[in-house]
């Protein structure tokens, strides 16, 4: 039998298709407007939430600033540490510039009246404050205000050793007056220095090397003539960090003097290379294995720098950008910034105009979230890349590793 039944509409009755009426259009428009208003409302709520979070953050900073003059040393210490963490992880130029004098006064007060740990925190905060303010007049005024206090603490032999160690940021003459006390004497005897003082001398040497990177050519010539015959004496120090600092400073000084005078000739070149080679293959049993591994890795690069003028370049990736550390000057500068901002270094490389200017990275890049997401590689691509990099790194290390020396340690 032929089919005579047709599909019925709701309720089993034949449904007629009605034309699109003005009422339907108004309902559709209302629905669209409703969804649009919901999205707008959500965006406004997100903006308000972000604004409230920013206000809460600034309120905490204000509390920290007020607490730096509290009677309790513990409260002052906590406030200084809170400000340090904030400045190391965020760009706060506008907020800080409005309160620059207040923060500077608090730092000066802690340096003058605080004890060792508080003075150490205040000195670190002073460095972070200058990093936030950049290379303009504001940071210069902060430095001029605090410089006399730093020099007083540096030259005060009775001052707390932690405070003296943290405040090694004044002048090259002050630094020299510190680390030269660790030189081996002309008669071959070594000065008796405790571990805390050795650490102070190490930081003084690294700070002196940082200032060395911005010296004029004529000044570098004078420094090379004065210190190159003496710096190798620090390579005999019992402290591994002092030996490494001395080696990196020697490599830095050779790089700078060769830029000034490509025909530079050092009389003690052969004995120096022999000493560097001994440290690069050190297997002395009384030294810790971790110290020897660290030392050998550094002194292989130092030996290349002195013998061949070569540098083992390193690539730093941050966000969608990358920066190549291709010289000892650049490495010393990068290490100095990283010492203070710590894990926030990549963020400052992306957003801090002062640090970007120092490394000649140009103005900060503005990339929206969609473009950033499109640039990201997939999980599989990252896995394959890391596997290939690990394999290449292992092969490279096996080539330069002295297996005979490693076996001889056990």
What is the tens place of the pLDDT at every residue in 63-76?
999 999 999 999 99
Q: From CA 361, how far away is CA 238, in angstroms rounded?
A: 39
Instruction: Specify the DSSP class assigned to residue 69.
Output: T
Give yes or no for a contact between 138 and 182, defined as CB atoms under 8 angstroms apart: no
Question: For residue 36, how many other CB atoms are within 10 A of its CB?
Answer: 10
Q: What are phi and psi of 324, to 5 degrees?
A: -100, 125
The pairs formed by 57-60 with CB atoms below 8 angstroms and a separation of 24 or more are 57/86, 58/95
| Contact (Cβ atoms closer than 8 angstroms) between residue 199 and residue 206 | no
Listed residue (81, 55, 76) closest to 66, CA to CA:
76
- Write out the two tokens for 93: 């130029």
Q: Report the distance separating Cα 325 and Cα 328, nearest Å.
A: 8
**Residue 46: pLDDT band by 50, 70, 90 thresholds?**
low
What are the helix (H) ranges across 156-288? 161-166, 172-179, 195-212, 217-227, 240-260, 269-280
- The label of the residue with tokens 């309902």 reads 27
Highest mean pLDDT among 146-150, 290-294, 396-400: 146-150
Please tell me whether residue 145 adopts helix, strand or coil conformation: helix
Separation CA 78–CA 63 (nearest Å): 11
The first and second tokens of residue 14, run together, are: 């034949």
Structure tokens at 217: 């050519």
Token pair in block for residue 344: 């926030």
Tens-place pLDDT, residues 296-354: 889 999 999 999 888 989 999 988 889 999 999 999 999 999 998 888 999 899 989 99
Q: Which residues make beta-bridge pairs with 316?
A: 323
- Sorting pLDDT into bands at 50, 70 and 90, what band is 80? very high
DSSP-assigned letters across all residues of 179-214: HGGGSPPTTSPPP---HHHHHHHHHHHHHHHHHHTT
Q: Distance (Å, rounded) from C-alpha 356 to C-alpha 364? A: 8
For position 161, what pLDDT does the model report?
62
CA distances from 285 to 43, 274, 405, 408 (A): 65, 20, 11, 10
Mean pLDDT for the chain overall: 80
* Spatial CA neighbour of 61 closest among 49, 79, 88, 73: 79
How far is Cα 186 from Cα 230, in angstroms, rounded to an integer? 10
- State whether residue 288 is helix, strand or coil: coil
Q: What is the pLDDT of residues 215-239, one digit of tens each?
A: 888 888 988 998 998 899 899 888 8
């Amino acid at each position: 039998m032929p089919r005579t039944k047709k599909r019925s509409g709701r309720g089993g009755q034949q449904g007629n298709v009605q034309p699109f009426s003005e009422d339907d259009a108004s309902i559709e428009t209302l629905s669209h407007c409703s969804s649009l208003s919901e999205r707008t409302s959500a965006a406004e709520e997100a903006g308000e939430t972000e604004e409230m979070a920013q206000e809460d953050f600034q309120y905490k900073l204000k509390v920290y600033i007020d607490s730096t003059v509290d009677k309790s040393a513990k409260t002052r210490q906590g406030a200084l540490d809170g400000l340090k963490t904030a400045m190391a992880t965020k760009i706060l130029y506008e907020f800080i510039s409005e309160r620059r004098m207040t923060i500077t006064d608090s730092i000066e007060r802690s340096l003058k009246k605080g004890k060792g740990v508080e003075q150490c925190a205040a000195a670190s905060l002073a460095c972070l404050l200058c990093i936030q303010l950049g290379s303009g007049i504001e940071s210069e005024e902060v430095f001029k205000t605090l410089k006399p206090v730093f020099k007083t603490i540096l030259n005060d032999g009775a001052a707390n050793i932690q405070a003296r160690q943290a405040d090694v940021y004044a002048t090259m003459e002050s630094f020299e007056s510190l680390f030269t006390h660790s030189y081996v004497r002309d008669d071959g005897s070594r000065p008796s220095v405790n571990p805390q003082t050795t650490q102070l001398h190490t930081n003084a040497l690294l700070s002196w090397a940082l200032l060395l990177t911005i010296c004029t050519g004529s000044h570098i010539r004078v420094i090379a003539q004065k210190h190159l015959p003496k710096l190798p004496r620090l390579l005999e120090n019992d402290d591994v960090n002092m030996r490494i600092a001395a080696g990196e400073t020697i490599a830095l000084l050779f790089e700078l003097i060769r830029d000034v005078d490509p025909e530079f000739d050092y009389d003690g070149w052969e004995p120096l290379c022999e000493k560097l080679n001994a440290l690069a293959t050190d297997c002395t049993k009384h030294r810790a294995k971790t110290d020897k591994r660290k030392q050998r890795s550094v002194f292989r690069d130092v030996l290349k720098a002195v013998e061949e003028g070569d540098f083992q370049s390193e690539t730093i990736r941050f966000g969608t950008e990358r920066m190549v550390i291709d010289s000892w000057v650049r490495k010393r500068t990068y290490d100095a910034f990283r010492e203070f901002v710590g894990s926030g270094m990549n963020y400052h490389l992306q957003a801090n105009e002062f640090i970007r200017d120092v490394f000649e990275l140009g103005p900060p890049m503005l990339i929206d979230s969609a473009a950033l997401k499109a640039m990201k590689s997939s999980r599989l691509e990252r896995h394959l890349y890391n596997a290939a990099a690990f394999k290449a790194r292992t092969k490279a290390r096996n080539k330069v590793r002295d297996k005979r020396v490693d076996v001889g340690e056990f």
